[in-house]
């Protein structure tokens, strides 16, 4: 398994990592726990060393799953988890007060069966708490040995700079893929300047970029995608042109559309580490092999030229979720 370093001073991790949210949260029926434990074991055995979770996935049950499954491998892996979102009256609310962060870290340490968190993200920025106060609390937790590195998720560049000035940020987690490229405008140049790694979540467009869906695909009420504008029948049909593009390059490289989507991300910067999620062993193996695919300059330019002619249809989140979601 190829390794990458998250930024100048962050941890070294496998490329890709593994997003674990779907094993306990958001995508319909929750998979069998024993099967997910086996899948996590298989991931380690096949070279994955970077695992992503959060206290609000479940909530709490995803951390418990990883704590149980990964305990035998703790000194060989990097675990990332997140704080700062809580459920209240059926809604997700940001809360990054210092006392809440301290309560959260103790809970995560217990559920993950560990003495330290490798990478601890603020899940979403809390406008009610100055980011300097958050960074100061994190700095104290690092000095106490409870955290090795910290990061921010879906934060703006100005906020990242303010946080980084107090306690160096190792990584920023942000949605980034062939159908969500806004990070290229300001975020990626700023991260490169500051020496911070990027961890793209939903690198396969919540499964869309694998070619698994079409305009007739249905999503149950417990599947978050049933609420997402990009997964309406009309949007799925309109965006199929993007999957067709991936299929063309996949045929040329003897690969799958999903592998091309991941290989494209890996080709953007050496400090980018996508975390595709899956609950299936066959997809896990497929995602791992994406790191073996090299897209040359002509191929990357070809993809870029084709993308310039494609207009992605539909917002990535429902309007009410855009700022509050923990996904």
Please check whether residue 64 is in contact with residue 92, taking contact to mean a CB–CB distance below 8 angstroms. Answer: no
Catalytic residue among 57, 120, 121, 176: 57
Partner residues linked to 174 by β-bridges: 200
Is 176 marked active-site?
no
Distances (CA, A) of 84 to 44, 51, 59, 161, 261: 28, 19, 12, 19, 30
Pairing of strands 78-83, 50-52: parallel
Dig out the tokens for 182 from the structure: 């806004």
In this structure, the chain runs to a length of: 327
Contacts 24+ apart (CB under 8 A), 226-230: 227/318, 227/321, 228/314, 228/315, 228/316, 228/317, 228/318, 229/314, 229/315, 229/316, 229/317, 229/318, 230/179, 230/205, 230/312, 230/313, 230/314, 230/315, 230/316
Q: Which two tokens stand for residue 154?
A: 């879906």
CA distance 14 to 254: 23
Euclidean distance between CA atoms 183 and 180, whole angstroms: 8
Instruction: Please tell me the distance from the alpha carbon of residue 191 to that of residue 197, in angstroms, as a whole number.
Output: 7
Q: How many helices, marked H, and strands, marked E, lie in the chain? A: 10, 11
Residues classed as catalytic: 57
């Amino acid at each position: 398994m190829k390794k990458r370093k998250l930024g100048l001073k962050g941890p070294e991790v496998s490329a890709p990592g593994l997003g674990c949210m779907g094993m306990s949260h958001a995508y319909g029926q929750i998979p069998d726990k024993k099967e997910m434990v086996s899948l996590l074991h298989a991931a380690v055995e096949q070279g994955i060393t970077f695992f992503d979770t959060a206290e609000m996935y479940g909530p709490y049950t995803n951390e418990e799953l990883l704590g149980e499954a990964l305990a035998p491998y703790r000194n060989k892996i990097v675990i990332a988890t997140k704080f700062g979102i809580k459920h209240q009256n059926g809604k997700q609310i940001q809360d990054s007060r210092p006392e809440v962060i301290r309560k959260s870290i103790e809970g995560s340490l217990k559920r993950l069966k560990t003495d330290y968190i490798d990478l601890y993200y603020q899940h979403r920025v809390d406008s009610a708490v100055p980011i300097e106060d958050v960074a100061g609390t994190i700095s104290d937790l690092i000095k106490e040995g409870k955290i090795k590195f910290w990061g921010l998720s879906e934060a703006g560049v100005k906020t990242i700079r303010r946080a980084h000035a107090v306690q160096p940020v190792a990584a920023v987690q942000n949605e980034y893929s062939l159908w969500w490229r806004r990070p290229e405008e300001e975020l990626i140049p700023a991260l490169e300047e500051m020496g911070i790694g990027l961890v793209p979540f939903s690198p396969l467009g919540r499964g869309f970029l694998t070619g698994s869906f079409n305009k007739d695909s249905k999503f149950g009420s417990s599947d978050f995608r049933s609420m997402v504008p990009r997964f309406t029948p009309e949007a799925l049909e309109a965006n199929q042109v993007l999957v067709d593009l991936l299929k063309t390059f996949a045929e040329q490289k003897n690969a799958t559309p999903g592998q091309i989507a991941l290989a494209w991300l890996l080709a953007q910067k050496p400090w980018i580490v996508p975390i595709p999620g899956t609950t299936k062993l066959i997809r896990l193996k497929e995602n791992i092999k994406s790191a073996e695919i090299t897209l040359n300059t002509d191929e990357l330019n070809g993809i870029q030229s084709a993308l310039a002619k494609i207009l992605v249809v539909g917002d990535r989140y429902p309007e009410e979720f855009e700022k509050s979601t923990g996904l």
